[in-house]
Amino acid sequence: MSRGYRVRFHLAQGEHFMHWQVKDKATGEVNYYDPAEYSLSLTNCTLKNQRATAEKIHAGENKSVCAWINADHVSVQVEACRLATIKNQDRFMYNPRRAPFWMDHENRNMDNMSFTGLVTVGRTVGIPSVSPDLGKSCQEVPIGI
């Protein structure tokens, strides 16, 4: 199996509903992070989508897992200690009911676009803007994988 991580927003009902799911692609180990408590930093990542599945959802079928982010590395920070923000023009969103692909702020198709780094802030994912006032005297949280 390939190295790295698969990150997605978990929407299945249950204990981890609306949490970030981080799966180690080598071991299959999965961890969940509440976006109200944790931010994720992703390195060397690509926005992925199963377009055929997304098209079906866009046409009205039931939702299923069809989008994620592949990343070489994921680090986890306590939300209060995060070091970056995301500007509106640097946010990405995915909702196959609205469009069957990852979108940027201008609603352009961002499927398969790669980035050296992305972060999560709450339920949002995007290109980080470093803020020197954020995260003073904080430490990274072990990912647990």
- 76-124 pLDDT, tens digit per residue, is 988 777 778 899 999 999 999 999 999 999 999 999 999 999 999 999 9
Question: Could you state, in order of their start, the residue ranges of all structural domains in the chain?
Answer: 5-141
User: Is the pLDDT at 38 greater than 70, yes or no?
Assistant: yes
pTM: 0.86
Give CA separation, 131 vs 21, 59, 80, 84, 86, in Å.
25, 40, 13, 5, 10
How many angstroms separate the CA atoms of 33 and 12, rounded? Answer: 14
Q: Would the CA dihedral through 46, 47, 51, 56 be positive or negative?
A: positive
